[in-house]
Structure 1
Amino acid sequence: MKTICVCTSVHRAWDVRIFEKEILTLLKRHRVIYVAPETDSQPPRIPAGLTYIPLKKTHNRLLRFFRVLFVFRQLFSLRDQVVSYHVHDPELSIALAALKILTGKYCIYDVHENHSAAIRDRFWIPLFLRRLFSAAFSIIEKICTPFFDAVVCVSDEIAQLYPNTDKIVLPNYPSKMHYHSIPRFDQKKPYILLAGGLTRVRGVLPAVQAFVMAKLPEEFQLILLGWFESEDLKRTILKILADSDKKNRYQYIPFVPYRESLRYVKESAIGIIPYLDYLNHRFGIPTKIFEFMAAGTPIIYNNLPNYRRLLEPYQLGLSVDCSDIIAISKAMEKLAHNPLRRQKIGEQARQLFLTKFNWEQQENVLLNLYEFPSRCCVFSKVVSCDD
């Protein structure tokens, strides 16, 4: 039994992908030392074989990059206890390359998004600095990547950014453990759910404006579940709703623990994923798409090429231009007024989740990365229109 060090310096300690999926999977065959930000919350369950080492939190976004030395020292101190390092943050790429050089351990870099593109979409950074940081990160990553034994990518589009590197694609499919049961169709509530990061680039503004405009059955409500990127945006969104004729037909629910949020995903009649056409959104598939699929919930989504490749062959919802308020409102009306269509889409989505798009189908891909390192260049496809 091997001991693997998994590290994140930014994500919440009990992050769904890192802890609930990857770490719990690795613990089936290995021990794990988990280095992650300190937290007051407890994990849903304390698994055997896990050692948790908390890191002091840093709330200043820019200071994240200056923590690398501290995190490196923490990881380096574990060198005699572990056979592998598996890190999840872009700023730790330098630390991971240094660990490879100094320890010779098996080093895995886990990529959740196109980091260079994501930096360009960070509006809290001044524009000229965004371009500078994005270019600098691309250079640093290209220098560091050859030192990694493998790269774990969340989508095929991201995997293509690492052409000369051993890699696997490990999509963010939900676990059957979390979706072993869902409400029957007639038990669904008349909710249109927008969940996750409530940000401008993720289309919260046009989605809310479309809800206000849409002619929906009286019982339908909008549920905003998650955190706003700024107080200004929060005030703007809530004012639009409060000043509309639907002021009594929405709920704003701040961030709740993952397992509690699942209740809203499972119960909602319609899901909406209005991510706007920014470069980073063309390199991955939002986890919420798969979660709505698992819940048997039809969705409204942007007509980005990577989303359409996944969803259109199965007709799991309505694809619209999510910068077009009228188009979104019409899509809401079509689904809200057609329960038979919602039921048909939901049943097909649920079946696809149970047979194909679930985490359990991916577990061996991750485990084999550690059992057969020389074979880690084998891809696990996120989507194929020929399937």
Structure 2
Amino acid sequence: MNTASKPDVVILSSVHSALDVRIFYKQARSLADAGYKVTLIARHDKNEIKDKVNIIGLSMPKNRFQRMIAQTFRAFRLALNQNAVVYHFHDPELIPIGLILKFLGKKVIYDVHEDYQASIYTKDWLPSLIRTTVSNLFDWLEKKSSQKFNYIITATDHISKRFGNIKNIVLHNYPIIENGNNEFGCQKSKGEYTIIYAGGLARIRGIREIAESIGHINDRLHVKLKLLGKFSDRDFETQIRSLAEFDKIELSYVPYTEVFSHLLSAHVGLAMFHPVPNHIDSMPNKLFEYMSAGLPIIASDFPLWKQIVEGNKCGITVDPMNPKAIAEAIEYLLERPELMNEMGENGRKAVLEKYSWQKESEKLIKIYSDILNVK
């Protein structure tokens, strides 16, 4: 089958932004570059064609109920209007839609970003007494439904194992290596150190512990913390802004395409996720993005993260719940510039050799070829 005859694909998400890194920058663009006509239905402020991907925007829901009911129904209606051959969805709440599409004769792919069954235990809006029951029920429903789909894509090996013999493959969240991030063209400031965290600013991602750690660092080092992301909880944002350490914190948000330049101007990258079930076996984008930028890393001391960070000699791991331990790790690195450079180079080398999106992209295209019998 030639490029011109490749079928239409619809990518669906009622939860994520249309410009989500995994969904748009990695998967949708890779499929479009391979010749598929890709339509992406997800949260966006307008309809537009970007990088050969047709984006149909969903409005931001006012509450969880509207997202899970009204938004899901609208996404389904828009998806049906496309009459595509392949439907690739990214949220567990879209499982019923996936089943209907499969019943209608469509090829359906379920992309699993997280261990949702485990994440239910951290949902504050669910009464704690019923979380185990809800988790077990969801686990059964997800696995039973997934048997009907053409393929399951997971973000980590841990999630993949949950699906057992159900046809699935892991597409890791490795960084995209393009011309824009092959060279180090940005100078780091002298006389002041920038410690950076890039990503969602949430309590369980260790933002408070990171912020409080700055207060434990010796003033002679002149450390500034840059938090590059958005708060999802206004009350939590207020708490962070009220901290005594806030005068040493810079809050900023930039599009994904500009994140790398901020990483290049920093000295150390932080990833201090709390040890909740859904984090311990995760492989967050930021670890590999820090490595791609040549940043030494300080990360949570989960076994898998320790294997990646310390195994590649590109950083150190500490207890993410201990601000003083985080501060000591920061001081340890800043006082050893040669070690920082060595760790940064090790991380960059590891990304170029084994943690880049290029090979994952090839696996994605093969999945589509397999379910469509394309040679």
State the TM-score, normalizing by the size of structure 1.
0.87
Q: CA deviation at 1:111?
A: 0.7
Q: Give 1:270's match in structure 2, choosing from 268, 279, 284.
A: 268
Q: Which amino acid aligns with 1:7?
A: L
SS at match of 2:108: strand
SS at match of 1:5: strand
Matches of 2:197 and 2:122, distance apart in 1: 20
Q: Deviations over 1:71-108 (max 9, x none)?
A: 333323333xx22110111100111012112x222210
- 1:379 matched residue in structure 2: none
Q: Deviations over 1:183-230 (max 9, x none)?
A: 467668721112212222111112222221122543321112212232
Q: Give 2:29's match in structure 1, choosing from 12, 24, 31.
A: 24
Q: Give 1:296's match in structure 2, choosing from 294, 297, 305.
A: 294
Matches of 2:101 and 2:133, distance apart in 1: 27
1:96 aligns with 2:101: no
Q: Which amino acid aligns with 1:271?
A: G
Relative to structure 2, which stretch is displaced further, 106-115 or 139-148?
139-148
How many percent identity over aligned positions? 30
Q: Which amino acid aligns with 1:22?
A: Q
Matches of 2:143 and 2:69, distance apart in 1: 20
Structure 1 residue ranges without an equivalent (≥5): 376-387
SS at match of 1:318: strand
SS at match of 2:39: strand
Matches of 2:308 and 2:268, distance apart in 1: 18
Matches of 1:14 and 1:221, distance apart in 2: 29
Matches of 1:139 and 1:19, distance apart in 2: 29
Q: Which amino acid aligns with 1:96?
A: G
Matches of 2:59 and 2:207, distance apart in 1: 32
Q: CA deviation at 1:321?
A: 1.0
Matches of 2:48 and 2:343, distance apart in 1: 37
Compared with structure 1, are the counterparts of its residues 83 and 303 closer, same or farther at alpha carbon in structure 2 (3 Å cutoff)? same
Q: Which amino acid aligns with 1:342?
A: M
Q: Which amino acid aligns with 1:24?
A: R
- 2:217 matched residue in structure 1: 214
Matches of 2:114 and 2:68, distance apart in 1: 18
Asked if the contact 1:285/1:307 (under 8 Å) is kept, the reply is yes
Q: Which amino acid aligns with 1:112?
A: H
Matches of 1:132 and 1:280, distance apart in 2: 17
Matches of 1:184 and 1:233, distance apart in 2: 33
Matches of 1:310 and 1:65, distance apart in 2: 35
Bigger fraction of residues in helix = 2
Q: Which amino acid aligns with 1:74?
A: L
Q: Deviations over 1:330-371 (max 9, x none)?
A: 101101111111000011111111222111122110000011
SS at match of 2:57: strand
Compared with structure 1, are the counterparts of its residues 319 and 297 closer, same or farther at alpha carbon in structure 2 (3 Å cutoff)? same
- 1:115 matched residue in structure 2: 116
Compared with structure 1, are the counterparts of its residues 186 and 226 closer, same or farther at alpha carbon in structure 2 (3 Å cutoff)? closer
Q: CA deviation at 1:118?
A: 1.9
Asked if the contact 1:273/1:302 (under 8 Å) is kept, the reply is yes
Q: Give 2:20's match in structure 1, choosing from 8, 15, 23.
A: 15
- 1:251 matched residue in structure 2: 250
Asked if the contact 1:13/1:39 (under 8 Å) is kept, the reply is no
1:285 aligns with 2:287: no
- 1:223 matched residue in structure 2: 226
Compared with structure 1, are the counterparts of its residues 55 and 41 closer, same or farther at alpha carbon in structure 2 (3 Å cutoff)? closer
Q: Which amino acid aligns with 1:19?
A: F
Asked if the contact 2:186/2:265 (under 8 Å) is kept, the reply is no
Higher RCO structure (Cα 8 Å, ≥6 apart): 1
Instruction: Compute the RMSD of aligned alpha carbons.
Output: 2.3
Q: Residues 340-355 of structure 1: matches in 2 within 5 Å? A: 340-355=338-353
- 2:3 matched residue in structure 1: none
Compared with structure 1, are the counterparts of its residues 374 and 52 closer, same or farther at alpha carbon in structure 2 (3 Å cutoff)? closer
Q: Deviations over 1:19-50 (max 9, x none)?
A: 1110110012211122222314967xx333x3
Structure 2 residue ranges without an equivalent (≥5): 1-5
Relative to structure 2, which stretch is displaced further, 191-200 or 53-62?
53-62
The alignment covers a number of residue pairs equal to 364
Q: Give 2:66's match in structure 1, choosing from 45, 63, 67.
A: 63
1:5 aligns with 2:7: no
Q: Deviations over 1:207-259 (max 9, x none)?
A: 2222211225433211122122322222222222xx35xx5432122x32112
Compared with structure 1, are the counterparts of its residues 118 and 171 closer, same or farther at alpha carbon in structure 2 (3 Å cutoff)? same
Matches of 2:130 and 2:183, distance apart in 1: 47
Q: Give 1:37's match in structure 2, choosing from 43, 52, 56.
A: 43
Q: Give 1:312's match in structure 2, choosing from 303, 310, 315.
A: 310
State the TM-score, normalizing by the size of structure 2.
0.90
SS at match of 2:311: helix
